[in-house]
Homo-oligomer: A and B are copies of this chain.
Amino acid sequence: MLLAAELLAALGHETRLAIFRLLVEAGPQGRYPNELSEALGLPPTTLSFHLAHLNRVGLIRRHKEGRYLRYAAAYETMDELLAFLTQNCCGGVACLSGAATRPNEELPQTTSPAPQGA
């Protein structure tokens, strides 16, 4: 099951977002932790913590390769997240490009005058 908030929270951290982007750019073969560690100037423990987090929620995957490890982006998960954001969050209201200029055509336009006391 996809827990959107969990994925969003995982990406909602400067460092993890940077890690994820590096992995996405790296393609399906991914990258080695020491490369990431160097690229981002992070101590290995901190990096490991964030890699574990991204891995746990399914945004990246870990491959053991003899003595080394490799992490790669899990594109399908990102797909699902984007699909969720467009369909469940914006579907029916179109917050995709153009939404701002094409305001609610199919909306009820309830124009309710005021709240009715809780």
Residues of A near any B CB (own CB < 8 A): 4-14, 17, 20-21, 24-25, 27-29, 32-35, 37-38, 67-68, 73, 75-76, 78-79, 82-83, 85-86, 88-90, 92-93, 95-97, 99-100, 103-104, 107-111, 114-115, 117-118
Q: A95-B75, A114-B68 are in contact. Are A11 and B17 (CB under 8 A)?
A: no
The reply to whether B75 and A100 contact each other, CB–CB distance below 8 Å, is: yes
Q: A17-B5, A25-B93 are in contact. Are A115 and B75 (CB under 8 A)?
A: no
Residues of B close to A109: CB separation below 8 A: 27, 29
Q: A68-B115, A95-B73 are in contact. Are A90 and B34 (CB under 8 A)?
A: no
Which of A17, A96, A103, A110 counts the most chain B CB atoms within 10 A? A17
